[in-house]
A = this chain, B = another copy of it.
Amino acid sequence: MHLNEFIVHFIDVFNIYHLKFLQVQTLLALYICGICGIFKIQYKKLHMNRILTLLIVFFVLFSCDNVKKTTSEGSISEHKTEKSDTEEPTFGLVIHGGAGTILKKNMSDSLENAYKQKLEEAIRVGHEILKNGGTAMEAVTKTINIMEDSPLFNAGKGAVFTHEETNELDASVMDGATLNAGAVTGVTRIKNPIDLALEVMNNSPHVMLAGEGAEIFAQEKGFELVDPYYFYTENRFQSLQRVKQKESNSISSSSSSTFDPYIKDSKFGTVGCAALDKNGNLAAGTSTGGMTNKRWNRIGDAPIIGAGTYANNATCAVSSTGWGEYFIRAMVAHDISAMMEYKGVSLKEAAKEVIQEKVPNLGGNGGIVAIDKDGNVTMEFNTAGMYRAHMNAEGELVIGIYKD
């Protein structure tokens, strides 16, 4: 084996084991010095050339370090953005309107356009706030408001129906700067649940309030309660009837019929937003009507901090959409952040591992949108489609529905 070959092989072995090179170099230096020491004790007559050769090997290895750093893929340096002091602070936001079996063949052009227009309208609202120096949290909540007010999405006005033909809404927000959070679940008279989640965060000693209690809190804080009929939309009501029809035709248990793949379309859908503001603060929020035909006051992942929503200035801001039960069990939003924090991987790598491996391995599906502290954005999903959009500091807009 030639010296060069040996060195390359040696570097590869260390790479496999994810060792940091500077540490390895220090260890090698100590090791070589030690070996030299032993040699000196045991072979006092050896020429100094031997020691020099060993030292040369060490310095050659040292010089390989920088070369390797710039060529290796997926290394920790990948997600760092170089910023000069004079550069404008970056900002950006990313949204989703739900993930599921969204296929081009099932979608009319006019419906597709309606979705795209609403996604663009929503993201432009948040972008304008960020551009003008507003907070990430303001951008997140105002952007989500637009989607909550649209019957296109399963949140606010377009919320799906429960088994009892009611609409029970969930929402949560998290502030990456303070790690403060707010959430509401099972509210039936709150027009914009994301606003109530924010109110819980800002003006209550609690993080999470449920049902009637959350609505009493809302009233105390001056929220106007809407008639539950506000949430009635013919489309969603018909979806429930179809699901119930299928359920009554089916001999299978409620457990399996609730998750019939054929009707997945009408069950998923949540809206969410993750944003980075000019001050380097991250925030995330998620709002949903839950799952069509849900029963027993079921709580999904959307109002669960760490599952549906997570933000931490040290890492990233994440909003989830998908089969909530699996997103809770996989702690999707927090797991992506933890992987970045403790494993040193990029947002993209962390999101990919969680959404393409961990969640499907449990049997679940869905997706996330996320933005990291440097403004890098990821929109990862393992379903046929996910309504999504992002916009960066330069105003570049990306809108997507299907898998590319």
Contact = CB atoms under 8 A, between A and B. Distances in A.
Contacts of A229: none
A140 interface: no
Contact of A185 (B42, B210, B300, B307): B210
Interface of A is mostly: helix
Interface stretch (A88-96, A275-283, A326-334, A393-401): A326-334
A205 B254 contact: yes
A403 interface: no
Interface stretch (A6-14, A118-126, A152-160): A6-14
B34 A53 contact: no
A342 B34 CA distance: 32
Interface in A275-310: 294-300, 304-307, 310
Given A204-B255, A329-B181, A339-B338, A27 B37 contact: no
B305 A214 contact: no
A325 interface: yes
Interface in A123-146: none
Q: Which residue of A41, A186, A255 has the most chain B CB atoms within 10 A of its CB atom?
A: A186
Interface in A326-356: 328-331, 334-335, 338-339, 341-343
Contacts of A41: 3
A298 B211 contact: no
A400 B330 CA distance: 33
Given A50-B43, A297-B213, A304-B304, A325 B13 contact: no
A179 interface: yes
A223 interface: no
Contacts of A338: 334-335, 338-339, 342
B296 A217 contact: yes
Contacts of A211: 186, 210-211, 297
Contacts of A43: 50
A329 B179 contact: yes
B210 A297 contact: yes
A104 interface: no
The 6 A-B pairs at the shortest CB distance, nearest first, are namely A213-B297, A342-B342, A338-B338, A213-B296, A210-B297, A208-B299
12 contacts: A6-B34, A35-B57, A179-B330, A185-B210, A185-B299, A204-B296, A207-B324, A210-B299, A211-B211, A211-B297, A339-B342, A342-B343
